[in-house]
Amino acid sequence: MAYLSIRWFLITLAVLTPVLLSLRLGHDRSFAASFHDGASMLYPDSVDLKEFEDASLRWSAADSPTYIMIVRVATEVEVQRTILYANRKRTPFLAISGGHGQTSTVGKVKNGIGIHLGRMSSMYIDTDGQSVVIQGGVRNGALISYLWAHGKQTMTTGCDCVGYIAPILGGGHGWLQGRYGLAADQLISARLVLANGTAIEVSQVRNPDLFWAIRGAGHNFGIVTSARLKIYDVEPSQKQWAASSFVFTHDKLESLFAMANNILDSPNRPVGMVHYLVFAFNPDVDPNHPIIVVWIYYQAASIPFQYTRPLYALSPVAVESSTTDLAGVNAHLYATDDGVACAKGFSRKLAPVSLQRYDIGSIRKAFDVFAGVPSSFHNSVMFAEGYATNRVEEIDANSTAFPDRAGKLLLSPILTYLPNASLDAIAEDISNRIRDALLEGSSSKLVSYVNYARGDESMEAIYGYEPWRLEKLRRLKKEYDPFGRFNYYAPIS
Ligand SMILES: *[C@@H]1O[C@H](CO)[C@@H](O)[C@H](O)[C@H]1NC(C)=O
Ligand SMILES: *[C@@H]1O[C@H](CO)[C@@H](O)[C@H](O)[C@H]1NC(C)=O
Ligand SMILES: *[C@@H]1O[C@H](CO)[C@@H](O)[C@H](O)[C@H]1NC(C)=O
């Protein structure tokens, strides 16, 4: 009897398997047929495996989402259709643009649907020359080049390869924020597809609460299909960027960070000046300790002597200076599409801390933790980014969900290593200790820039400590995403 039932089970299975396989999620013919172009779907078992893998590959290989299907959407209607389909199948979905988001919760998308925005990359400058309209998949580098070619600029970020929209959703720090404010401050209006598949417009006058929320907590609310942004003429005096790097041995750490504090404290801080202070390993310069690289970018033909003189006085090991344009600044940072900062497939772990000033004792402690990482992590860097904040601070802090207008510095290790699960825990431990060291001398609580967030921060650390902010965000989350479909990037809870 038992033998018979097993036999029947196997026969039934043999008959049914082809039928079941053809019904596998992601091979749904009627769904695929609703797209005008059959090449829109990528599957993990298709002959175009390489294309599927390329579309899935992220900047960080740690905490990677997995997909049963990636849909390369070309229109807003296709975004709506894909979300409705995913809802019907009770399957998680994730928008893919630059693929840089590395917070651990994106890894909770398992057997999900990727909504790849690469085909939605067009843009145009409006006839009045005051705004640009971009589609949801436009990359930062493409926007910089397009605007520059038309004599325009706006607040753009330091890596060509990231999407432009995702940074807006968390605020968006970058080159011209001292002049114009954050990327989010450039947003005039946006169209987005909500969790229930409805497409709406948000602006100061249409759905203003949601317009407020997507500028700082936007990953929670929808997929932006297009955005209208403020743009500005590039004045003749703004055409050039001076870019310099100074390499130092670690014994100069205290002097360098004190110097940076002086710049932050200066009453007339230049709007077009950015500094990066970077720890990295370079055994040619120092076989025993990480080195310190100071990058200075200044929107002018040269960096005023008052800022470079103190650096020369500390006897740098090497100095390199050049004059370039806005796109060239990203190239100087190795952050063009083929640069090391954009390279995909390494595991990367961050642990961001936003500060208003450097506490030099804490920086030294963080340096010592960084210096002690095992050799598997010697491709890592630790970054301190000091963008000018003049205009960021002037804009009413209540006008957007971005909670940290008083912040002046972004610090984080970027632990970089070949994908290896046994190194993930070590990386987390190191980044914890660096974060603790950085906070030790800070009188304030942890503030973490949501676009760099690691995934273990409190709601307050990423969305703000003023109670009204979280109350408002929680109310809007309930209204616009009651089932938590957008819960894979810094979910509001
Ligand atoms: C910001 O909004 C909150 C809550 O409505 C209010 O308590 C606070 O005074 C506002 N701050 C400013 C500067 O308007
Ligand atoms: C992963 O890392 C561990 C710990 O360093 C090491 O022992 C192991 O060989 C690595 N595995 C691979 C495949 O490189
Ligand atoms: C989708 O959600 C929005 C916001 O809650 C709501 O206004 C709209 O009516 C919903 N659409 C549908 C089709 O239920």
Q: What are the pLDDT digits (tens) for 395-445?
A: 999 999 999 999 999 999 999 999 999 999 999 999 999 999 999 977 779
Q: State pLDDT tens for residues 367-394.
A: 999 999 999 999 999 999 999 999 999 9
Please tell me if the domain spanning 14-116 has the same topology as the one spanning 123-235: yes
What is the reported pLDDT for 18? 45
Q: How many Cα atoms sit within 13 Å of 369 on the Cβ side? A: 22
Query: Given ligand 1 and candidates 209, 394, 398, which is best to mutate, with the most ligand atoms within 8 Å of its CB?
Result: 398
Atom of ligand 1 nearest to the CA of 398: 1
Residue 214 has pLDDT above 50, yes or no: yes
Q: Is ligand 3 within 6 A of the CB of residue 87?
A: no
The residue whose C-alpha atom lies closest to atom 12 belonging to ligand 1 is 398
Tell the residue number behind the tokens 């890894």, with chain if given: 107
Q: What is the pLDDT of residues 22-69, one digit of tens each?
A: 455 557 778 888 886 656 899 998 877 899 999 999 999 999 999 999
Least confident piece of the model among 197-201, 263-267, 279-283: 263-267
Tell me how far the alpha carbon of residue 207 lies from the centroid of ligand 1, in angstroms.
20
pLDDT by residue (tens digit) across 328-345? Answer: 999 998 899 989 899 998
Count CA atoms closer than 13 A to 77's CA, side-chain side: 4
Residue 213 CB less than 6 A away from ligand 3: no
Bridge-based pairing state of the strands 93-96 and 112-116: parallel
Q: How many residues does the chain have?
A: 493
Q: What is the residue extent of each domain of the chain? A: 14-116, 123-235, 238-463
The DSSP code sequence of 121-148 is: --EEE-TTSSEEEEETT-BHHHHHHHHH
Pocket-forming residues, ligand 1, beta carbon under 6 Å: 398, 468
Beta bridge pairs of residue 402: none
**Top-level CATH class of 14-116?**
alpha beta
Both tokens of 35, joined, read 């797209």
Atom of ligand 1 nearest to the CA of 468: 4
Report the chain's mean pLDDT, rounded to a whole number.
93
Mutate to test the pocket of ligand 2, among 423, 424, 428 (most ligand atoms within 8 A of CB): 423
Contact call for residues 273 and 307 (beta carbons, < 8 A): yes
Question: Per residue in 112-123, pLDDT tens?
Answer: 999 999 999 999
Q: Is residue 274 predicted with pLDDT exceeding 90?
A: yes
Handedness of CA 232, 168, 59, 408 (dihedral sign): positive
Nearest ligand 3 atom to alpha carbon 482: 5
How far CA 490 is from CA of 207, 417, 463, in Å, comes to 22, 24, 9
Q: How many CA within 13 A on the CB side of residue 343?
A: 14
Which atom from ligand 2 is nearest to the alpha carbon of 418? 14
Residue 28's pLDDT is: 77
Provide the CATH topology of domain 238-463: Vanillyl-alcohol Oxidase; Chain A, domain 3 (3.40.462)
What is the assigned CATH class of domain 123-235? alpha beta
> For residue 422, how far is its CA from the centre of ligand 2 (angstroms)?
7
Span from the CA of 398 to the centroid of ligand 1 (angstroms): 6
Say what the alpha-carbon torsion angle 133, 136, 142, 143 is, to the nearest 10 degrees.
40
Residue 21's pLDDT is: 46
* Distance from C-alpha of 224 to C-alpha of 369, rounded to nearest angstrom: 40
